[in-house]
Amino acid sequence: MEHATLQTADVSLHWVRAGAGPDIVWCPGGDQTGEEWEEQFGFFSDYRCTSFDPRGAGRTVSHRPPPWPIATYAEDVAALIREACNPPVVIVGLSMGALIVQEMLLAWPELVRLGIAMGTSGAKGGFIAEWEDAEIRFREAGHRLPPDFALAHYALLMYPSEVLGDNEMWEKCKPVVAAAYAERDGDMLAAQWQACLDYSAMDRLAGCTRPLHVIGFDQDMQTPPARGRLVAEAAADGHFHLLKGLGHCSLFRHRPEVVARKIREIITS
C-alpha cells in the first residue's frame, strides 16, 4: 500500500493507495483511518483505490482546530481527488464517510461519477441524535472510557449478534474496534461526531445531479437502515439496497466479501 501526504494551507492529509485502474475513493467513518479499507482494496485490485485519514484521526494534521463541518471534510476529499485521481471518480463511504459522500455529490458533482453511502442517515433525530449528543458531551466533559470498557461498549454498535456470539469471529473483529476506540482522543472523537450530528443534506438531495446508492445493513444498531432509506428516497437519482445479517461495520473482517460484491454490482451496472 502506497502512503503519501497532501499538503494544503489548511491540512496535511495523509492518504493511502493500492491497485490500478479507474478510481474509487473510500471515505472512512468517524474514528477510522484510510488503512481500514485494505480488505476492500483487495477485492478491487482492478481499480485504483484511494483512502485517507479524516481530520481528527490517524496521521492527518489539521492546521486549524475544530469545528470541522462535513463540508470541510468534503473540501479535503475534493482536493485529494484533484491532486491524485482522474475524475470523475466513484466515491464510497461509511457512516461519517457516507455523509462526506452526500456532500461531495452536492458540492463537487464534477469530480464524482456516482456515490455509495453505507450506514448513513439524513437529519438526526430520536435515539440517534440523543446517543450521539450524549457521547459528545461525555467526551467534552473530559471523561474517557477505559480500553476494555470501550471495546465492549463500541462493539455493540459496530457488529451484529453473529459476531458477538461466536468467539472465533469476535477475535477476528475485535482488533477493528480496538484500533478505533481503545485509546481514542476524546476531543477528536467529539469533533468528528459533532460534525455528523450537525449534518443534513435532506433539503438539497432533490437537486443532486449524480446517482446516490445507499446501502443499509439490517442489523445496524448505530444507524438503522430505515434512516438510510429516507436518504435514498430524498435523492433525485437515489437507490436503496439492504444487506441482511450485517451490522454497521460488518464490511471490516466480518463479511467484507458480501459488501464488496454489492459495491461491484452497483459500479458495474
Instruction: Kindly report, residue by residue over 151-205, the tens digit of the pLDDT.
Output: 999 999 999 999 999 999 999 999 999 999 999 999 999 999 999 999 999 999 9
| SS (HEC) of 133-176 | HHHHHHHHCCCCCCHHHHHHHHHHHHCCHHHHCCHHHHHHHHHH
Determine the pLDDT at residue 25: 98
**Span 174-186, pLDDT tens digits:** 999 999 999 999 9
Cis peptide before 54 (omega within 30 of 0): no
Determine the pLDDT at residue 24: 98
Mean pLDDT along residues 1-6? 97
Angle, vertex CA 66, rays to CA 91 and CA 15, nearest 5 = 35
**Span 218-260, pLDDT tens digits:** 999 999 999 999 999 999 999 999 999 999 999 999 999 999 9
pTM score, two decimals? 0.98
Determine the pLDDT at residue 102: 98
171 grid coordinates: 477475535
